Structure formats: C-alpha cells, structure tokens
Structure 1
Amino acid sequence: MAGTEVSSPPRTVVLPLALAQFICSFAGSNMNVMINDISADLNTTVQGVQIAITTFLLVMAALMIPGGKITDRFGRKRCFVAGLVVYGVGAVVSALAPGLGVLILGNSILEGVGTAMLIPPVYILTTLLFTETTSRARAFGVIMAMGGIGAAAGPLLGGLITSGLGWRAAFAFQALVVALIVVLGRRITDPLPEDPTASFDLPGAVLSAVGLILIVMGILAADNDFRLMLALLAAGLAVLALFFLSIRARERAGREPLISTSLFRNRTSNLGLLTQHVQWLVLMGTSFVVAAYLQVVRGYDAIQTGVIFTAATAGLLASSLAAARLARRRSQRTLIMAGFLVTIVGIGVLVALAGRSVNPWAFAPGLLLIGVGVGVMLTPSVNVVQSSFGVDQQGEISGLSRSVSNLGSSLGTAIAGTILAAALTGRAYAAAMITLAVIGIVGLVAATLLPRRADTGPPGG
C-alpha cells in the first residue's frame, strides 16, 4: 500500500478528492442566497426552496451508508466516477429547470444520489492511499478544509454568480467543476480490487434510508402540525430500531449486513460521529438562518448576502490552513473542544451585535468566529472516526460518517427553517440561533468525553 502512495503523488490524488468535497459542500449552501431569485423565477415560496435544499441534504444522508457499502462490490474509483456523472447530470437538469418539481429532481434527487455515491470513496481512498499518520492527517486536512470552505463560501460564490449571470449559472458552474474533477481524477488508482461477489444488504439499506427520511420530515412538519411531527419522529425512530435489529439478525445468521454492529460499539468513534453531526448541523443551520434573514427581512440581494459571508469563509480558511500545525501541538480532543467553544461564542456575538445594529457588517465578527471554530474541529473529528477502524471496515465507517454529517446538515436547515417559518422576524432569527448554540453545547460535551489522546494510529498501520 505504501507503494501505491509513491506511484500516486499526493498532489495528484488529493486535488480531485478535495474538489469533490468542495463542490458537494458548495451545493449544500449556495442555494441559500438564491432564495428570492429562485422563488420569483419558478413562482414558488421560501418554503418551497427550503424543501429543495433540505431534500438534497436528506437524500445524501439517507443514501450515504449504502453508498459506502457498494464501493466494496464495484470499486472505489468506479463509484467515485459514476457519482460524478450522476451529479453532473443533476446540475444540468437543475440549470434548465422550468419549475420547482424539476429543480427538486435535478438538485435534490440526482445531485443528492451522485453525492452519496462519490463522497464515501473520497474518504476511503484517502485512508487507504495515505497509510502514514502525518500524511493522512495532512490529506484529510486539505479535504475537510475544502469541504468547509465550500459550505462557507457557497453563499459568496453563489451570490456573485447569481447577481452576475443568474441562479441557473450556479448549477452550470457545478457541472463544469464536476467535469474538471473527472479529468483530474483519471490518475487516481484504487489500492484494493473490487469484489463482484460481495453481498449487499438491500433490506438494511431501505430501512436505514426510510428511518432517516421520516425523522427529517418530522422536523419539517413541526411548523404545520405538531401531532404529525411527533408521529413522523416516532415512526422514524421505530424504523431505525428495526434497521438495527435487521443488521444484528443478519450478522448472527452469518450473512454480511449493511454495516457491522461493531461500528456502534466503539466509544471513541461514536463520540467523534456525534461531534461531526453537530458541527455540520450548526454550520448549515447558521448559513440558512443568516441568509434567509438578510434576504427576506433586511431585503439584501444575493451578492450583498454572499459578501457578508466572506467573514465566515475567511475564518474557516485561516483555521483550516493552520490545522496541520495545530495537530502537531494539540490533541484531537483539545482541538474539537476549542472549535466548539469558539463557535458557540461566535453565535452569541452574532445574535448580540446583529440584533442591535442595522449595519450589515455587524454580522462579520460572529460569522468570523463561527468560521474559525468550525475550521479548527472539522479535520480532527474525521480523523478520530476514520482511524478507529481497520482497512476492512473503511467502506462501512466512511458511509456512516458521511451519513451522520449530512444528516446534521439536513437537520440544521430543517430545524432553523422550521423556527423561521413561524415568523421571519428578528425575534425568530434570535430564537433559531440560540437553538443552534444549545445544540453546539451538546457537541462540546461530547468532545470533552473523548479520550485525552484521541489521535489513534492509522487503520491497519
């Protein structure tokens, strides 16, 4: 495996993988600044656009575990390329969408499915190609930095493109980046052969997807029907319980489940997964709340809204670039805790300053701190989880890790959107941000429970 790393220069391998994470994260946040433009052009509402955004994130979360599992059967490189093609088709369909239904088909469904196919291979290939702890940490640092920058810079880039060329051009931009990734990714080699005989747990895949979908649908129903919300949440939890019983029964029968139950027995990994979930929930929730408030309440256009988000992008970029240096000086646990603390303080500053000033730059200090906080903790959280398992379980843990993260993104948009839907006012904005801060505290508590030296050795190394 070390030979593979030598024959595939890190720069050649990491660039397309990092760009893939960038464009998928960009897709999850750039539509936030297009709310007014899309609503007017497609004759829909803010809630309609929110449904499209949330559905995209939900499809990713629901299919990420199966997406990680199929890499064993069809190969990591093949799934990566196939996912890019599906994503690219979705971007083109979205750019040509005549109405909300077609936009949901292109953006929410096709791009969501494509992302679920291509993102697990990004993390599996990185883990397998970079077998040395320092080089792997550096590679994950670049990939996670690009993912965070994509999410934070999505509003700015989306705003610039929307204001200059229209919202449809933002999807054309995604298609062009995908084409570039396909070209750059030609030299990536798969260090493990595919196994056409590998079984696939279809009942498990269906149960996991349905359970996750019901939970997010329940949160989205909160502003319309409280009883429906409770019913959907209960149904979702029940289906996920059936999913666990299903994979356990399959294991006991000597058949391969969608994911091994051993993944849920690793305390360090479980805590790391929780921190990932909360990080993306807070980041995407904040992005949606601030973007919606600026456009609907303050009346800013797409580019004005995007420019304000440069503070978050700058903070995330600065802390991400320092991630490798920080990792040499501090433990993963310490970095994750520090990231949550800075993020929570950033939310407090955001609420305090923005709520009392009409100056749009009052949002900058809070967004800057949030960007710094998220950038500090993204990479260590992924490293903690991926390094908790051996090579033979990288497909499973990568799918589970990305599913948990994207579920966080989905819930962040759903929870924040539900609070804002009640009344798009300054008070609702503050309530949504305070809710995200409380959830951030949950992530901080999880981080304190991580082992004091959570930077475990490389899988299989």
Structure 2
Amino acid sequence: MAQTDVSGRPSRALRRVLVPLALAQFICSFAGSNMNVMINDMSKDLGTTVQGIQVAITLFLLVMAALMIPGGKLTDRYGRKRCFTIGLTVYGIGALISAAAPGLGILILGNSILEGVGTALLIPPVYILTTLLFTQTASRARAFGAISAMGGIGAAAGPLIGGLITSAISWRAAFVFQALVIAAILLLSRNISDPLPADRTKSFDTVGATLSAVGLVMVVLGILAADNSGWLMLALLVAGALVLVGFFLWVRAQERAGKEPLLSTSLFRNRTSNLGLVTQNIQWLILLGVSFTVAAYLQTVRGYDAIQTGVIFTAATVGLLLSSLGAERFAKRRAQRTLIMLGFVITIAGVVVLIAMVKGSPSPWAFAPGLFLIGFGLGGMLTPSVNVVQSSFGDELQGEISGLSRSISNLGSSLGTAIAGTILVAGLSNSAEAAALIVLAAFGVVGFAAAAFLPRGMVAQTAPATAAGSA
C-alpha cells in the first residue's frame, strides 16, 4: 500500500482507513458533551435532578479515564483491530440501553458504564493503528491532525447536534444516533488490518490496572461529594491520592523485578512530556467544564430549551473548527510551545469576555464572542499539546504513551464537569456561573505556566508521532 502521493499526503487507501478511526474519535467526544443540553429534558423524564445528570456525565468520562490505560495494554494481548471492534460493539449496546432507560440507574449502566468501557477499548486502537499504519512522519502528522480535529469538533458540536435531535425528536433519539454512527463505523472498518499480530503470551498487570482505576475514581468522586459533605470529600481525595501513590510504588517494584508493569516509569521521567500532559489535562478540563456550566445555566436559570442551548454553542464550534483547520499551517510557522501558550491566552480572554458580556446583557447573543474565543483558543492548542507528549518518546513506547495521554485528557474532562458542576449545582444563579467560570480560567493560568516551561524549539515537523483529542 503506497504511503503517500507526490504531495506527501496519505494515499487514497490510507485515507479510507482514516475515516472510521476519525469517526470513532468524533462520536466518543460527542458523547462527552451532547448530554449537557438535555439536562432539563432528561431530569424530568427520568425523575431525577440536575445533579443526577451531572453524575451520569462525570461517571462516563471517569470510566473512560480509569480504563484507558488498561485498554491500551489489552491491545497487545488481543490485537488492536479486535479490541476496536469489541469496543464499538459494547459502546453501541450501551447507547441503545441508554435510549430505552426508564430511570437514572439504567442510564448510568448504559451510558456511564457500557459506553465508558466501550470507549476505553476502542480509543487506544485508534491511535496505535494510526501510528502503525501511517509510517511516514508527514502522513502520520496529517492523520492525527484529522483525528484531533474530529475529536475537538465532536466535543464542541455535541451540544448543537444533541439540541437539534432532542428538540426535533427526543433526548432518547440522541443515543440512537450514536448507535447508528457506531454501526457505520463497524461497516467502514471492515478492511482495516492489524499490522502486528496479537501476542497472547503478553502479561497483563491486573494489580496495577486496579490500583490506577480505583485511585482515579476516588479522586473524582471526592470532588463530586464536595456539596454533600466536606469530610467525605477530604476522605475520598486523600484515599485516592494514597491509592495512586501505591500504584506508582507497585509499578516501580514490578520493573525492578524484571516484570512488565501497566506503565513504564520512564513515561514519568520526561520533563517535557509531563508538562505536555498537564496542558492536555487542563485543555479538556476547560472545554468540558465550560460546556457543562453554560449549558446548565442556560437551561435551569434562563429556561432555554435544548435547541436554543445548542445553537448558542455554535460559536464555540465555529471557533474550534477554524483553529483546527489552520493547525497544520500554524505549526509550520510557530513552535509548539508558542501555540499552546497563545491558545491559553485566547481561552482565558474568552472566559473573561463571556463573564463580562453575559452579566451585563439578557441577550443570548452575549454568549457568542466569549464562546468563540474559548473554542478558537482550545482548537489551536489541542494538537500541539499532544505533539509535545508523543514526540518525547520513540515508537516502542507509542502504545503506552497514547494510552496515558488519552487517560489524562479524559481525566481532565471528568474533572472539568465535576468541578464546574459542583460549584454550579450548589447554587444555580448568575453568581454561581461566574464563580465556576473563574475557577476554570484559573486552571487556564496554570496551563499557561506549564506551557511556558516547555522547550522553545519544538515544531510539529520534528515529531515522530502525534495524537490528539479526548475521547
């Protein structure tokens, strides 16, 4: 199969392979944000509250984050194509169960658990297969740029598409839509072949997988418990931190014993990669945090319906789409560090504009300038941040760093929804919305500071592999 044409672009055969992989990233990112515009409809229909829907959304993102690393390791043992197919199937079943859910419990089973598990199984193969199939640096960079854009667009357009479907039919139809997209991906992915055979003799670190998952779950649940009990929040946060410390000690002990752990400790000894992971985490924390905050405020305080809420988010989608489309051109002119820092500056400015304009105007158009800037800033730095992480390691560690990168991004998504949601749900009002957005902007300042310490000379063309986009 020819890798590229005379222009250096991926061949037609590889572009056909890229379509289902990019669609898979799109639908998983879409699932993380589309429920935000259905809060009122779902809570009334299922007999629950705004907080109940917030828990379901957060748990979905958290299950992805907790299982993404183990999911990546399972691809070596059972094969990347097989895990991709199984993940799609589990996800599709979860979407159909969610569509028929009579109450919050069944919704959590279908959406939070099954769709979350399915995503954790299918997303690592997306990035590993792309790394293995696109062997030339230029074609690989373009492939991951497309996947990155689809991931960001899925997250940003989720409220609009979800709002259109909910208003035209019902919120349940939005889950049927997901199942139909999954069926299309299964059909389109029939011709994808796994470049490497599965190795059934490959060991799997069950203890490490359990410790990492439990630690992440406890930390996020601690944040969710903030508005119920301060002591419970503190206990869960401390316990989660201790479990994660135990995970790192276990991994180090496994390596010293000559065994293969869930993750190599070398992944955490690279300063550039660690800083890149921090920026990734914060980008998705802001994106999903802003999405939940604004959507919940519009529906519960201003009384907007799903379609009105979704249309308002068009500004963020347009901004993200424009900067994503220009990402390759920007990368040729500016260093990755510069793009990430500039992205955080624009995003923080967008939050400030959003707070100022919404506070002084009852018009729905007051949301547009701020959301556009937030989308534009985030879209311009999603790919550079992961370029920094992926290019810090050779091909032999691409599978592990891809799993870690996806886990960190999804952890950011779940933290953003949990933190912003906890502040907002504590008192649904103008001041609560502003407080949640201010906290998100403060995280943006931390992301800018982390980006400032990145090496100055890193450019996209030097990266041996890239990946971007949260599930």
TM-score, with structure 1 as normaliser: 0.97
The answer (yes or no) to whether the contact 1:88–1:174 under 8 Å persists in 2 is: yes
The answer (yes or no) to whether the contact 1:133–1:457 under 8 Å persists in 2 is: yes
Choose the corresponding residue for 1:51, options 35, 48, 55.
55
Report the CA distance between 1:459 and its aligned residue.
5.7
Choose the corresponding residue for 2:464, options 438, 450, 458.
458
Instruction: After TM superposition, list the pairs within 5 Å mapping 1:173-188 onto structure 2.
Output: 173-188=177-192
Q: Corresponding residue for 2:91?
A: 87
Report the CA distance between 1:390 and its aligned residue.
2.0
For the pair 1:60 / 2:56, whether they are aligned, the reply is: no
Aligned letter for 2:456? R
Instruction: After TM superposition, list the pairs within 5 Å mapping 1:129-148 onto structure 2.
Output: 129-148=133-152
The answer (yes or no) to whether the contact 1:277–1:405 under 8 Å persists in 2 is: yes
User: Hey, what's the Cα distance between the residues in 2 that align with 1:9 and 1:387?
Assistant: 26
Aligned letter for 1:64? M
Report the CA distance between 1:6 and its aligned residue.
7.6
User: Hey, what's the Cα distance between the residues in 2 that align with 1:8 and 1:63?
Assistant: 34
Q: Corresponding residue for 1:421?
A: 425
User: Hey, what's the Cα distance between the residues in 1 that align with 2:135 and 2:230?
Assistant: 50
For the pair 1:203 / 2:212, whether they are aligned, the reply is: no
Q: Which moved more, 1:150-159 or 1:388-397?
A: 388-397
Instruction: After TM superposition, list the pairs within 5 Å mapping 1:439-454 onto structure 2.
Output: 439-454=443-458
Choose the corresponding residue for 1:384, options 380, 385, 388.
388
Report the CA distance between 1:211 and its aligned residue.
0.1
Matched position secondary structure for 1:9 = helix
Q: Corresponding residue for 1:430?
A: 434
Q: Corresponding residue for 2:469?
A: none
The answer (yes or no) to whether the contact 1:285–1:436 under 8 Å persists in 2 is: yes
Aligned letter for 1:178? I
For the pair 1:151 / 2:116, whether they are aligned, the reply is: no
Choose the corresponding residue for 1:302, options 293, 300, 306.
306
Q: Corresponding residue for 1:222?
A: 226
User: Hey, what's the Cα distance between the residues in 2 that align with 1:93 and 1:343?
Assistant: 37
User: Hey, what's the Cα distance between the residues in 2 that align with 1:305 and 1:457?
Assistant: 39
User: Hey, what's the Cα distance between the residues in 1 that align with 2:326 and 2:464?
Assistant: 21
Matched position secondary structure for 1:26 = helix
For the pair 1:311 / 2:311, whether they are aligned, the reply is: no
Q: Corresponding residue for 1:246?
A: 250
Choose the corresponding residue for 1:14, options 15, 18, 35.
18
Q: Corresponding residue for 1:212?
A: 216
The answer (yes or no) to whether the contact 1:52–1:104 under 8 Å persists in 2 is: yes
TM-score, with structure 2 as normaliser: 0.95
The answer (yes or no) to whether the contact 1:268–1:454 under 8 Å persists in 2 is: no
Aligned letter for 1:140? F
User: Hey, what's the Cα distance between the residues in 2 that align with 1:129 and 1:335?
Assistant: 28
User: Hey, what's the Cα distance between the residues in 1 that align with 2:11 and 2:330?
Assistant: 29
For the pair 1:124 / 2:128, whether they are aligned, the reply is: yes
Aligned letter for 1:316? L
Describe the superposition over 1:109-129 as per-residue Cα deviations: whole angstroms up to 9, x where unpaired.
000000000111111112222
Report the CA distance between 1:7 and its aligned residue.
7.7
Aligned letter for 1:138? R
User: Hey, what's the Cα distance between the residues in 1 that align with 2:191 and 2:10?
Assistant: 13
Report the CA distance between 1:131 and its aligned residue.
2.5
Aligned letter for 1:100? L
Q: Quickly say closer, same or farther: Cα 1:165–1:260, change in 2 above 3 A.
A: same
User: Hey, what's the Cα distance between the residues in 2 that align with 1:283 and 1:267?
Assistant: 25
Report the CA distance between 1:327 and its aligned residue.
1.1
Choose the corresponding residue for 1:398, options 402, 411, 415.
402
Report the CA distance between 1:175 and its aligned residue.
0.2
User: Hey, what's the Cα distance between the residues in 1 that align with 2:248 and 2:335?
Assistant: 33
Aligned letter for 2:464? P
Report the CA distance between 1:170 and its aligned residue.
0.1
Q: Corresponding residue for 1:341?
A: 345
User: Hey, what's the Cα distance between the residues in 2 that align with 1:89 and 1:331?
Assistant: 43
Runs of 4+ in 1 over 4 A off after TM superposition: 1-8
Report the CA distance between 1:78 and its aligned residue.
1.1
The answer (yes or no) to whether the contact 2:81–2:192 under 8 Å persists in 1 is: yes
User: Hey, what's the Cα distance between the residues in 2 that align with 1:187 and 1:266?
Assistant: 37
User: Hey, what's the Cα distance between the residues in 2 that align with 1:186 and 1:365?
Assistant: 43
The answer (yes or no) to whether the contact 1:140–1:383 under 8 Å persists in 2 is: no
Q: Corresponding residue for 1:169?
A: 173
Report the CA distance between 1:137 and its aligned residue.
1.8
Corresponding pairs, count: 460
Q: Which moved more, 1:332-341 or 1:283-292?
A: 332-341
The answer (yes or no) to whether the contact 2:3–2:134 under 8 Å persists in 1 is: no
For the pair 1:350 / 2:354, whether they are aligned, the reply is: yes
CA RMSD of aligned residues (A): 1.5
The answer (yes or no) to whether the contact 2:3–2:136 under 8 Å persists in 1 is: no
The answer (yes or no) to whether the contact 1:218–1:233 under 8 Å persists in 2 is: yes
User: Hey, what's the Cα distance between the residues in 2 that align with 1:275 and 1:156?
Assistant: 26
User: Hey, what's the Cα distance between the residues in 2 that align with 1:318 and 1:3?
Assistant: 28
User: Hey, what's the Cα distance between the residues in 2 that align with 1:8 and 1:265?
Assistant: 39
